[in-house]
Each structure stands twice: as structure tokens, then as C-alpha cells.
Amino acid sequence: MQSRAAIRYAKSLIDLSLEKGELEKVFADMQLIQSVCKDSKELQVLLNSPVVNSDKKESILRAIFQDKVSAITLAFLVILTAKRREAILRDIAAAFIDKYYEHKNILRTVIRSVNGVGESVKNRVREIVRETYKSEVEIAEEFDAKLIGGFVLKVGDKQVDASIKTKLEKLRRNFSDNPYVADF
């Protein structure tokens, strides 16, 4: 869940990048920032630390991203540290990515399965979602051995669970709620 501040900063950045005609560059930058923040626990701890001053955090962010992001994104990072909002950088990146997809009318869909699904299934899901929601579709695939078989499809805030794990859990619940009472 993203904070209101993260959403506001993301909206401001998306508006600025649209105004400057660099939406795609800033989108790629936000994907990079989100990935770096996700992969580096040390960076998250540093950004959240009240002990480290803002100047030091700014210099570290500059060292990491100086040659990898656009001028708009780098200036944005400097503003964030000046306003002491660097702790929500990962949330801002996630909110920006959400706003980008919303702006481009792209619906993100996730298919979770044990071994993955074939291209024919992905194409069919893409077709159904495109027709239902009247938007472009981006499909991400996740793997989860706990599902046993089948798949879980998540489209926006809706989810369809056709996994063997869920079916077995339903059967277990049905058998444990046995209404039969012996009268002998």
C-alpha cells in the first residue's frame, strides 16, 4: 500500500515528465530505482535511517544513479532528499509505475502457476482481458510450487483462483463440515 505522499510525488513526477516529453525515460528510471531498492536491503535501511543526514543520503543516491537516470529523475531525487522524503522512494517508484500504466491504459495481469503456462494460454488470457476491460494488457508470470497445479490469475484488483491447492482446501472444508448425524 502506497502512502498519499508517495502517490502525490509520483503524480507530480509523471506530470513533469509528460510536460518535458520524457515519460518513457523517467518510466525506465523508476523501474530501475524500484529494482535497486527492492534488491538492496542496505539502501532501504540507509534511506529510512534518521541518523544519516540528508546530504549524505543525497550523495549516495547521486553515486548510485548519476550516470544511469535522466536529468529529471536525478533532480527529483535531490528534491526528495531535501524534503526528507527519501524513505518513501521505493513507494514513489511503485506509484509512478502504476500511474504510468494508468496513463497508457495498460492493465497489468499476473498469472501464477507451478511451472508456467504456455503461449496459447497467455494469448487467450490477453484476448479475454483486452475484450473485457477495453485496454492493453501486460502479462507477468510468477511461479509458486505451493499451488500444486492449475493457476491463479490476477487482473487489477480481481483474482481467479483455479489452483489445485484451493480445490483441495475446499474439499477438506466440505468433509470437515459433515452434516451427517448417525441416528442409531
70-92 pLDDT per residue, tens:
999 999 999 999 999 999 999 99
**N-to-C CA span, the chain:** 56
Start-end of CATH 3.40.30 domains in the chain: 106-176
Right CATH for 4-102 from 1.10.10, 3.30.70, 1.10.520, 1.10.3470? 1.10.520
CA distance 8 to 156: 21
Is the pLDDT assigned to residue 184 strictly greater than 70? no
Q: Is the dihedral of CA 36, 39, 42, 45 positive or negative?
A: positive
Grid coordinates belonging to 164? 489445485
Q: Which residue is listed with cell 506509484?
A: 95
Q: What is the mean pLDDT of the chain?
A: 92
Contacts of 103 (CB under 8 A, 6+ apart): 14, 18, 23
CATH class of 106-176: alpha beta
Strand 158-163 to 106-113 pairing: unpaired
Start-end of CATH 1.10.520 domains in the chain: 4-102
What's the pLDDT band for 175 if we cut at 50, 70, 90? confident
Helix 71-82 vs helix 89-104: crossing angle, to nearest 10: 140
Q: What's the maximum distance between 2 C-alpha atoms anywhere in the chain?
A: 82
Global pTM value: 0.80
Say which DSSP state 155 is in: E
What's the pLDDT band for 176 if we cut at 50, 70, 90? confident
